[in-house]
Amino acid sequence: MPRIAFLGAGRMASAIVDGLLAQKICTPGELTCIDGGDQTARTLAQRTGVEAAPDLAGLLAGADTLVLACKPQQLAGLDPRLAQLASGKLILSILAGKKLASLSAVFPQARNIIRSMPNTPGQIGAGITAWSALRPLADTDRRITDSILGALGQGLEVEEGQLDAVTGLSGSGPAYVFEFAAGLRDAGEAAGLPRAIAWKLALETILGSARLMARTGTEPEILRDQVTSPNGTTFAGLQRMAARDFRGLLRETVVAATERSKELSQDR
């Protein structure tokens, strides 16, 4: 694997590093990082053995690929020498809302540029990251991209115009799942269960149901119907959800997040 540099060493960058090392795709000596002064690079280097670069020149010396993992608002204030230092390199951005056109303006001499939208389960290698490239990827660059994003879980190539909807669904989606889990826990408690038992049952029900869908590949509506007896307990609960337009609320939720993503990326 060519040498990979990380501009930023926070949670997602650390997750990528951890995944690359755990999957033995890279050795610590093939990875280097730098932070914006918060000491995260030093912490990551001490924990994993990767190099913490002293400056941008040191970061990119010998690097083939640059992963942009800083805060999106920091990009405009980066050292102007970065564009030249990154000349000829593959740029992979995980910066929310930063469009390919904007990234191309910052890195006009890049070999190619990839915009991606990871989600928080990537921190444990269980995420899914949608991505789009500025130009068709060469085979070598596709392998590099697959390896980097594979360190977070699964990767999925999409059209750039779809990335706002990706943000609304999978980027923000973990928060919706967390909120659903909390609501299910609270509902169990309201029904008479101790909080700890309600939480255990809610968590394992969500985990088990997700595994069942993934393992069987069965449509969720079919699995729903398999557990629903006519006029039974599940039917009663589903009727209440339908009366409150549960699916309609989810549609509105994802659309609202998608529209906000479009607003935030207007000038990016």
Per-residue model confidence as pLDDT tens digits over 145-185: 999 999 999 999 999 999 999 999 999 999 999 999 999 99
At residue 260, the pLDDT reads 93
Residue 9 · residue 44 · CB < 8 Å:
yes
pTM for the structure as a whole: 0.91
pLDDT of residue 264: 84
Strands of 90-93's sheet in order across: 51-52, 31-34, 4-7, 65-68, 90-93, 112-117, 127-133, 153-157
Give CATH for domain 171-264: 1.10.3730.10
| Spans of all domains in the chain | 4-158, 171-264
Which residues of the chain register pLDDT less than 70? 267-268
Question: Domain 4-158 carries which CATH code?
Answer: 3.40.50.720
Residue 267 pLDDT: 60
Q: CB-based burial of residue 213 (10 Å sphere; 0-12 exposed, 13-18 middle, 19+ buried)? A: middle
What is the predicted pLDDT for the residue at 132?
98
* pLDDT score, position 1: 81
3-state secondary structure the chain: CCCEEEECCCHHHHHHHHHHHHCCCCCHHHEEEECCCCCHHHHHHHHHCCEECCCHHHHHCCCCEEEECCCHHHHHHCCCCHHHHCCCCEEEECCCCCCHHHHHHHCCCCCEEEEEECCHHHHHCCEEEEEEECCCCCHHHHHHHHHHHHCCEEEEECCHHHHHHHHHHHHCHHHHHHHHHHHHHHHHHHCCCCHHHHHHHHHHHHHHHHHHHHHHCCCHHHHHHHCCCCCCHHHHHHHHHHHCCHHHHHHHHHHHHHHHHHHHCCCC
What does the pLDDT read at residue 48?
97
